[in-house]
């Protein structure tokens, strides 16, 4: 069974631009969560999607948004990029919400210059 895939793996953007990251969960997994990893803050929860609906959202500004499609694939979008948005963005999938054993993708490394 293929694992969680994320595209692109690396991205360089300029301040003020916007970016869209993509995540394909493990086949059969319907819940997708997004995390931001930075050296100073560790892994921070961004949001969770299930059945094309955002269920939970972490403490991030409205510039961070996401969506989920009917095939459970998910995208996250960051608008008006700031230097502090440089991070590794990780996607994790699980069978259903509340299933604690989440399976992570390799992440997208975003650099904002």
Task: Find the shortest distance in angstroms from Cβ 104 to another protein.
Answer: 3
* Nearer CB in complex with another protein: 13/109: 109
DSSP letters of 90-109?
A: EEEEESSTT----EE---EE
State the CB neighbour count (10 A cutoff) for residue 24: 21
Task: Find the shortest distance in angstroms from Cβ 16 to another protein.
Answer: 28
- Residues making contact with another protein (CB under 8 A): 4, 33, 35, 41-45, 48, 55-58, 90, 92, 97-98, 100-107
* Nearer CB in complex with another protein: 14/41: 41
* Nearer CB in complex with another protein: 3/13: 3
Residue 73, phi then psi, degrees to nearest 5: -60, 150
Distance between CA atoms of 61 and 53, rounded to whole angstroms? 18
Q: Which residue is it, tokens 């819940």?
A: 31
* Nearer CB in complex with another protein: 81/93: 93
């Amino acid at each position: 069974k293929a694992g969680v895939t994320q595209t692109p793996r690396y991205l360089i953007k300029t301040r003020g631009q916007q970016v869209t990251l993509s995540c394909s969960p493990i086949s059969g997994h319907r819940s997708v969560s997004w995390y931001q990893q930075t050296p100073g803050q560790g892994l921070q929860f961004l949001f969770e999607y299930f059945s094309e609906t955002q269920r939970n959202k972490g403490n991030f500004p409205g510039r961070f948004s996401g969506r989920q499609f009917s095939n459970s694939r998910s995208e996250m979008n960051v608008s008006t990029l700031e230097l502090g948005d440089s991070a590794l963005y990780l996607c994790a999938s699980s069978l259903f919400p509340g299933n604690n054993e989440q399976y992570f993708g390799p992440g997208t490394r975003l650099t904002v210059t």
